[in-house]
Structure 1
Amino acid sequence: MATSGQDLKVYVCGTGTVGGHAARGVLSRKGLKLIGAKVYSEEKRGRDVGELLGVDPLGVAAVLDIEEVIAAAPDCVIYAPSSPNHDDLTKLLSAGINVISTAGGYLFYPVADAPLHNLLEGACQTGGATFHGAGVNPGFVSVRLPLVLSSWCRRIDRIRVSECAVMTEYPSSALLFDLMHFGQPLDPGNCEKGHIGQRIRRAFEAMLLELAAGIGARVDEIIQTYEEAPAPRDLHVAAGVVKKGTVAAQRWLWTGMVDGKPLIELETVWTLSYELEGWPNSFGWTFTVDGDPGLSATLHTHGGENSDDECCIATAMQAVNAVEAVVAAAPGIRTYLDLPSIHGRYHG
């Protein structure tokens, strides 16, 4: 482990969209040193990590096995595969390696899942390591920023967070078409189908419970609602073609009820079209806090290649910017409620 004055050694698991941005973020960050990357396909194994990232060669070969990551003894692993592997996470933590995960939003507040919490907390205590889940949404949008906004209020009656993600430039057909059911026949049951439906529900319910804990409330019930909209014509997007009449937009809403009234509402709208009547078409987030005083805010990204890429950079940097705080934290699961304020860094 690093001693005072030494750069913290960071390994990145996953070199896809988010993992790649995280690795490049580590390379640009003073005080951090990228010492390797774990990949998830045989064709990437052994290739120079710099080549995979589109930067100059680093002289470090990508690895495929989690045991090779452990053998490198990093101070922290940024864990960013498309789907989390609990065995890999427990191996890393049990070996004394701190982990920040952007994978599987349900991992951001594992207290909401007792068996998962016990598994990860046990591994943390065995290795004397810290685990933290970080991301944009779930994550910053659904917990960190609402908590900051709530600090204005003498009384909180309701918090509503709404996201609109226009994903026309998102290139992953596996995520959009195979997992999230875009381009499939309309079916209200799509929200419960397959692994992705359960992951999404668990992730946002965990965020709702963390936000409730942050404002000192206990949620009695979480209600999920879901609706879809059809493509008005054949849509040609980065991930492929959405046929007319198939799923082109999804709206999810999770409502946390307290004493028979809605206290927290987390809404997410994902769409592959800018032309759906009655549906939002601007990538961004809105926040409303009803109380004394009430307030509202909007958040947009800009300056990147496109809004999808900007959001992926933001997801990755939630992890990169948290490395020092997580390494310094006491062993165990540490959520947004436990860590100090996390900041970006000026590059002069």
Structure 2
Amino acid sequence: MISTVVWGTGNVGRAAIRAVEAHPALKLAAVLVHNPDKVGRDAGELGGLDAQLGVRATDDIDAVLAVSPRAVVYAASGDIRPDDALADIIRAIEAGAVVVTPALYGFYDQRTAPPELRDPVLAAIADGGGSLFVSGVDPGWGNDVLPLLISGLGTTVDVIRCQEIFDYSTYDQEDSVRHLVGMGHPMDYEPLMLAPTIPTMVWGGQIRLMARALGAELDDIRETMDRRALDATVSTRTMGEFEAGTQGAVRFEVQGIVDGEPRIVIEHVTRIHSSCAPDWPTPPDGGDGAHRVIIEGRPRIEVTVEASDEGANRSAGGNATAVGRLVSTIDWLVDAKPGLYDALDVPLRPAVGRLGRRER
């Protein structure tokens, strides 16, 4: 079995522990944590499982990497610590591990990753013999393999639109929601994630990757942005109150321009409460999240995916499916040559050996 480390136990890491434990080709070898309160706790508890897994969380990175695990699911955040995340991942690659992660936006299309990111990773691969595959947590498959698969069902394709529709009120990552995205801040506050060029920095790689797969020449990548204020103060289960008049919803697009028109579009519609911007797209049944791909052409094709996990929580379901895509590729990556991979390199992997298998 493939010895696999889960590095980080937040929203993504909890799902990663469950995914690794359920995969018949993988063996959970260690769990790395940053919070000292989590050190010594069983991985099953940290992953939200009912069973003890016999793996105790540790913060000793050197000790974990010293035994050369074959794979690492890097689930720690890269949003507010991109340099630290890159350094961690390089350490794991130099130790010979296959690393899968959503943390490094610049590698969504690895061929166009900036040299300051790409060169040290390639050097680590050459030195240590590991590999890297990055796919987004929003989730990546909704902005690459799913729209590309569906596009092949059409006779003509005018526009490919990928939507994430998300209610943050159930999300448990307050720093990102309030400060990176700006929910609850005054409308004149400019959150980092919404600043000009930042959406392109994050999602532009997926636009370029889809254009490459479609054989399309991009003229440009453009952004649109719209923000709405809360009409009334709202309270959330995980992050407290968000006051009336502060930012309550955001809608933006990253547009791949082909022949002067937006032809490949990644759109995010996010709210802190369902009452804000009710005229914007919503999940089909009024739930808290959905991912949708719309192919405008002949025929017009629309596919909506709603996933729930940790009860009926669809924000957790989105994380779980993103993690499922990453974890399912580990055995393929282990058998492949050491290298830097993206979503066009790594095939979709069926749930071999997991049909009917129950979570512990």
TM-score by length of 2: 0.87
Change (3 A) 1:223 1:199: closer
Flag the 1:70–1:89 CA change in 2: closer, same or farther, 3 A: same
One-letter identity of the residue aligned with 2:148? L
Shift of 1:337: 0.6
Quick one: structure 1 residues 290 and 57, their matched pair in 2 at CA, closer, same or farther if it must change by over 3 Å? closer
2:175 aligned partner, one-letter code: A
Spell out the pairing of 1:319-330 with structure 2 (5 A cutoff).
319-330=326-337
Q: Does 1:206 align with 2:205?
A: yes
Give the residue type in structure 1 aligned to 2:271: T
Q: How does 1:178-217 map to 2 (within 5 A)?
A: 178-187=179-188, 189-190=190-191, 200-217=199-216
Partner of 1:52: 46
Q: Deviations over 1:7-58 (max 9, x none)?
A: 1111000011211111122112212110101111223234333343344444
Give the match for residue 347 of structure 1.
356
Identical positions, percent: 29
Output the aligned Cα RMSD: 2.2
| 1:269 equivalenced with 2:278 (yes/no) | no
Distance in structure 2 (CA, Å) of the matches to 1:264 and 1:52: 39
Matched, 1:312 2:319: yes
Residue 4 of structure 1 aligns with which residue? Answer: none
2: CA distance between counterparts of 1:27 and 1:19?
12
- In the TM superposition, what are the counterparts of 1:222-237 in structure 2 within 5 Å? 222-237=221-236
The alpha-carbon distance between structure 1 residues 30 and 183, as it changes in their structure 2 partners (threshold 3 A), is: same
Which of 1, 8, 12 is the equivalent residue of 2:2?
8
1:147 positional shift: 0.8
Would the alpha carbon gap of residues 25 and 138 (structure 1) be closer, same or farther in structure 2, given more than 3 Å must change?
closer
- After TM superposition, give the deviation of residue 294 of structure 1 in Å: 4.0
Shift of 1:86: 1.0
Secondary structure of the residue aligned to 2:245 is: coil
Show the counterpart of 1:244: 244
* Matched residue, 1:148: 149
- CA offset at residue 199 of structure 1? 6.1
Distance in 2, matches of 1:12 and 1:68, equals: 14
Query: Which 10-residue stretch deviates more, 226-235 or 134-143?
Result: 134-143
Q: 1:105·1:199 contact (CA, 8 Å) conserved in 2?
A: no
- 2:28 is aligned to 34
Note the C-alpha offset of 1:80. 0.5
The number of aligned residues is 340
Question: Counterpart of 2:77?
Answer: 82
Partners of 1:123 and 1:217 lie apart in 2 by 32
Is the contact between residue 273 and residue 281 of structure 1 (CA under 8 Å) also seen in structure 2? Answer: no
Q: Deviations over 1:54-75 (max 9, x none)?
A: 4444443322243223113211
Alpha-carbon offset, residue 235 of structure 1:
0.6
Q: Which runs of 5+ in 2 are unaligned?
A: 284-288
Structure-2 change in CA distance of 1:168 and 1:107 (3 Å)? same
Distance 2:194 2:222 in 1: 17
In structure 1, the residue matched to 2:57 is 62
Letter in 1 for 2:103: A
Q: Distance in 1 between matches of 2:36 and 2:222?
A: 42
Partner SS for 1:74: coil
Q: State which of 62, 67, 70 in structure 2 corresponds to 1:72.
A: 67
Question: 1:321, 1:201 → 2: CA distance?
Answer: 28
Give the letter aligned to residue 175 of structure 1.
Answer: S
SS of the residue 2:170 aligns to: coil
CA separation of 1:97 and 1:138: change in aligned 2, threshold 3 A:
same
Q: Give, in angstroms, the shift of residue 117 of structure 1.
A: 1.9
Q: CA 1:154/1:128 → structure 2, altered by over 3 Å: closer, same or farther?
A: farther
CA drift of 1:213 comes to 1.1
Counterpart mapping for 1:116-127 below 5 A: 116-127=117-128
Q: Which amino acid aligns with 2:101?
A: S
Cα–Cα, structure 1 residues 232 and 119, in superposed 2: closer, same or farther, change >3 Å? same
Q: Deviations over 1:129-175 (max 9, x none)?
A: 22101244251111110110111234433211122111221122222
After TM superposition, give the deviation of residue 263 of structure 1 in Å.
1.8
